[in-house]
Structure 1
């Protein structure tokens, strides 16, 4: 499989409505890309069916259950907690869903990570809603970005929940929308997070935000992803390095956006499995 490594990256989000114009023209205030519209373009022919990645069984027996892990703005937030059978204490992972929401495919991916030995809390940033069309997913994406402080409280509390339920260390991982929020979780939780993995999420390039980072970062992107410009990924990496944190950005040259998602039709088996192995190795090296 052909892939290349890039070093230098950053983060921002737009929330304007869909446009058929190229990404360079899809800008919100401050000339930042409208990622919601860009993701709609990437997924416009997708349906929320399970990808091959969501059908891979965990390597060891796991148990899963719905749990209330946070209360935000007076509302109880439910997520999906998957653990190896008889898990008592050990490393844990906060997983953030892609733009379809916390659907069964995302829960299956949480099971797979649990099968590697982690307690995995798949959080919910869409208030229990899941999308069945790309247009609905874009609306949920935009709603999820409309109140960033509430989202940050959601994910930071998820980290606290895991630490109060036996986690000796906590990593974060997310796909697409969740890739962005994997990094935001690390920024919101500070020293509560020990390792962060971003799967083709919208980069954060603001130095003030990146200065809050306390964990090493692994970023995974597709070279043919037209929704996440690689120059913004390089800008993000540059800010992370400037902040003095270890960062590795891997770009799979022939992979499209969403190539490892548990939902949709973009799944690339070779790239996705290599990325999963690297993610697992990264977690094993940083989560004790």
Structure 2
């Protein structure tokens, strides 16, 4: 695999304000979490070839916070992902969501998923994993984060990355992958998929999937379950039979309140069980 370019990369994109253009109109069911008692906003993460923007939310008081990496959907770090960070901060975490597509383009300004997909397709897994390593380092040094209490969660595109990063970084104590793709083409940019790392996975990951997800066939979910059984990670997969893809995304028509709330509680319990809560 090609190494990440050594040229100095300067991030010109900024963290989105509001929701990505491609997800308009926004549902009336959108959840809004305030910043009372929190420190929130955009930060810059030094990475291998420059710096990338990220959104951070953390308690205004205290320290030695458990860390949770929040991994974006293909729509970037827009208002929904920022709100998820604030929800974690209210629970005592320092939550950080880096913009992982920024070298390839600013997806927040694009108005259709058809425009976004070619940009996302150019993002190398190696770049993402390296950026997440840098994000963890920065959070420990600059945001009072405790690397011994490191968790990760991600949605859709970020769900796939959650599985891969849990395999990449043994410091991760637990992960929760929301409807992330499990199988796919193996390419120079994407040399492995979650099903390929499942049997060797050491970190416990909870997978949350929808039984009516037209993009992630249930046979691939069962394939992942079988591979996990041969490993030692004690990972689990929960399938909500009536839920579609993106059932946690409260700003979209796909949102399912019951399954989303249950999944969010399962996430908190999973993190607590595996030592990543405050």
TM-score by length of 1: 0.75
SS in 2 for 1:255: coil
Contact 2:163/2:194 (CA < 8 Å) preserved in 1? no
1:253-272 matches, within 5 Å, as: 253-272=241-260
Contact 2:63/2:145 (CA < 8 Å) preserved in 1? yes
Which of 85, 108, 115 is matched with 1:110 structurally?
85
Q: Does residue 1:151 correspond to 2:128, yes or no?
A: yes
| d(CA) in 2 for partners of 1:119, 1:55 | 20
Q: Does residue 1:214 correspond to 2:202, yes or no?
A: yes
Q: Which consecutive residues of structure 2, in runs of 5 or more, have no partner in the other structure?
A: 1-21, 183-192
Q: Does residue 1:139 correspond to 2:118, yes or no?
A: yes
Equivalent residue number for residue 5 of structure 1: none
Q: Does residue 1:187 correspond to 2:167, yes or no?
A: yes
Contact 1:69/1:158 (CA < 8 Å) preserved in 2? yes
Equivalent residue number for residue 230 of structure 2: 242
SS in 2 for 1:214: coil
- With over 3 angstroms needed to count, the CA separation of the structure-2 counterparts of 1:175 and 1:89, relative to structure 1, is same
Q: CA RMSD in A?
A: 2.2
Equivalent residue number for residue 252 of structure 1: 240
TM-score by length of 2: 0.78
Please identify which structure carries the higher helix content: 1
Q: Does residue 1:174 correspond to 2:123, yes or no?
A: no
Deviation at 1:182, TM superposition (A): 1.3
Q: Does residue 1:126 correspond to 2:98, yes or no?
A: no
Deviation at 1:212, TM superposition (A): 5.5
Deviation at 1:81, TM superposition (A): 1.0
| d(CA) in 2 for partners of 1:66, 1:53 | 25
Which of 30, 36, 46 is matched with 1:70 structurally?
46
Deviation at 1:75, TM superposition (A): 3.1
Aligned residues: 238
| d(CA) in 2 for partners of 1:52, 1:193 | 35
Deviation at 1:276, TM superposition (A): 0.6
Contact 1:223/1:256 (CA < 8 Å) preserved in 2? yes
Deviation at 1:248, TM superposition (A): 1.5
Which of 244, 253, 264 is matched with 1:276 structurally?
264
- With over 3 angstroms needed to count, the CA separation of the structure-2 counterparts of 1:96 and 1:231, relative to structure 1, is same
| d(CA) in 2 for partners of 1:195, 1:52 | 32
Q: Which consecutive residues of structure 1, in runs of 5 or more, have no partner in the other structure?
A: 1-45
SS in 2 for 1:109: helix
State the Cα deviation string for residues 102-161 of structure 1 (Å, max 9, x = none): 1122111111121111110112111054243221232233123xx221111112222233
Deviates more, 1:160-169 or 1:227-236: 160-169
- With over 3 angstroms needed to count, the CA separation of the structure-2 counterparts of 1:153 and 1:247, relative to structure 1, is same
